[in-house]
Amino acid sequence: MVFDHPEWDDHEQVTYVHDASVGLSAIVALHRVRGGAALGGIRFHRYPDSTAALTDVLRLSRAMTYKWALTRLEWGGGKTVVLGNPARDKTPQLLCALGRAIDELAGRYVCAPDVGTDAEDMEVIRGVTRHVAGLPGADTSVATALGLFHGLRAMANRVLRRDDLEGVTIAVQGAGGVGSRLCAHLVEAGARVWVADIDRERMRTVSEVTGVAPLPPDEVLSADVDLVAPCALGAVLDERSIPRIRAKGVCGAANNQLATPADADRLRERGVVWAPDYVVSAGGIISGARELGRISTEEMQERLAGIYETTLTVLDLADKRGVS
């Protein structure tokens, strides 16, 4: 039962969407509706079962609320998960059926791309609802990668006591929209970068385009580097991976990197500084706010650069208060 779920956090609305004729099974969770809407992406993923999907959507929508709170943009957090294999199951018919369900929420939820969906999918969804962002030409991963780059600068300041990334060694997990662009920023800043992706083709492309070195996916979190940037999926920091981390700082865009809240303490006990993902990956929603007309392009750039200060403030506060 959803109200008894361990990840339940007084979510305002959880909607189950099913349309057998197009193979659609999805859950839309609105954690908080603020300023009239909850905003967050659509994740299309092969969940082992519907319980795992529910867990994910409850956690992801809550993380979106945290992100919006830190941007002070007065929107709340929402998220959609679609159960299935995007490569096989994602059809225009399925996307339109999902779009119609989103339209029925009458603007209380605004969707955008997430893992397994992209700008082209949002264009399809726009055919049936106007409550959609992240359309072609407004790829949020561009801003997310730039914001994360500023977060990594703050992390270097905090754990290496330096303001530039020249010669800093960094391992990036995931060479997708965010990871690949992050690699380019890091190389430009003079960092020494390694990247790992389970998709060999992607890893090779990023490696060729940016000049970063490939790394086996199962070695990336334990790489002997200064910083690690998880930019793949969530729950990668757990009781098995944390003891193997050799980096001084972990700072990445992947949503919900901690498998459980106790993992934040595990990291702290090991002396590894972790930048909360909802702080350093806020670039995507900042660019979403620009796309929806809430802020100007200039303000977006200022806010992306501002992730540096926000990250430092959060890390300093945690240090002063002795909390993870």
Q: Are 78 and 40 in contact (CB under 8 A)?
A: yes
Q: Contact at 8 Å (CB) between 176 and 141?
A: yes
90 is catalytic: no
The CA R_g of the chain, rounded to the nearest whole Å, is 19
Does position 295 bind ligand NAD by CB under 6 A? no
Query: Which of 61, 129, 141, 210 forms a contact with ligand NAD (CB under 6 A)?
Result: 141
Token output for 222: 């334990």
Nearer to ligand NAD, 146 or 267 (CB): 146
Q: Does position 210 bind ligand NAD by CB under 6 A?
A: no
How many whole angstroms separate alpha carbon 132 and alpha carbon 123?
9
User: Are the C-beta atoms of 146 and 283 separated by less than 8 Å?
Assistant: yes
Nearer to ligand NAD, 25 or 173 (CB): 173
| 197 is an interface residue for ligand NAD by CB under 6 A | yes
Q: Which residue is nearest to ligand NAD (CB)?
A: 176
Find how far residue 31's CA is from the centre of its chain: 16
Stretch that binds ligand NAD, among 158-166, 170-178, 237-245, 267-275 (CB under 6 A): 170-178
Contact residue for ligand NAD among 55, 61, 140, 311 (CB under 6 A):
140
233 binds ligand NAD (CB under 6 A): yes
Sequence length of the chain is 324
- Active-site residue identified among 79, 90, 248, 320: 79
Task: Read off the tokens for 98.
Answer: 């999902």
Number of residues that bind ligand NAD (CB under 6 A): 27
Selected from 76, 77, 84, 284, the binder of ligand NAD by CB under 6 A is 284
Question: Does 29 engage in binding with ligand NAD (CB under 6 A)?
Answer: no
Minimum distance of ligand NAD from residue 291's CB (angstroms): 12
Residue 114 sits in the site that holds ligand NAD (CB under 6 A): yes
Closest residue by Cα to residue 288 from 141, 117, 174, 84 = 141
User: How far apart are the C-alpha atoms of 167 and 54, rounded to whole Å?
Assistant: 42
H runs (alpha helix) in 48-193? 50-71, 86-89, 92-104, 119-126, 140-160, 177-188
Residue 84 or 234: the one with the smaller Cβ distance to ligand NAD is: 234
Among 76, 99, 179, 276, binds ligand NAD (CB under 6 A): 179
Q: Does residue number 280 form part of the binding site for ligand NAD (CB under 6 A)?
A: no
Residue 56, C-beta contacts closer than 8 angstroms, at least 6 positions apart: 43, 45, 47, 81, 234
Q: At CA 257, angle to CA 306 and CA 44, rounded to 5?
A: 100
Q: How far is the CB of 271 from ligand NAD (least distance, A)?
A: 24
| Residue choice 27, 254, 272, 295 for contact with ligand NAD (CB under 6 A) | 254
| Residue 120 to residue 112: CA distance in whole angstroms | 11
Least CB distance to ligand NAD at residue 142 (A): 8
Name the residues that contact ligand NAD, by CB under 6 A: 114-115, 140-141, 144, 173-179, 196-199, 202, 217, 231-234, 253-255, 281, 284
Q: Catalytic residue numbers?
A: 79
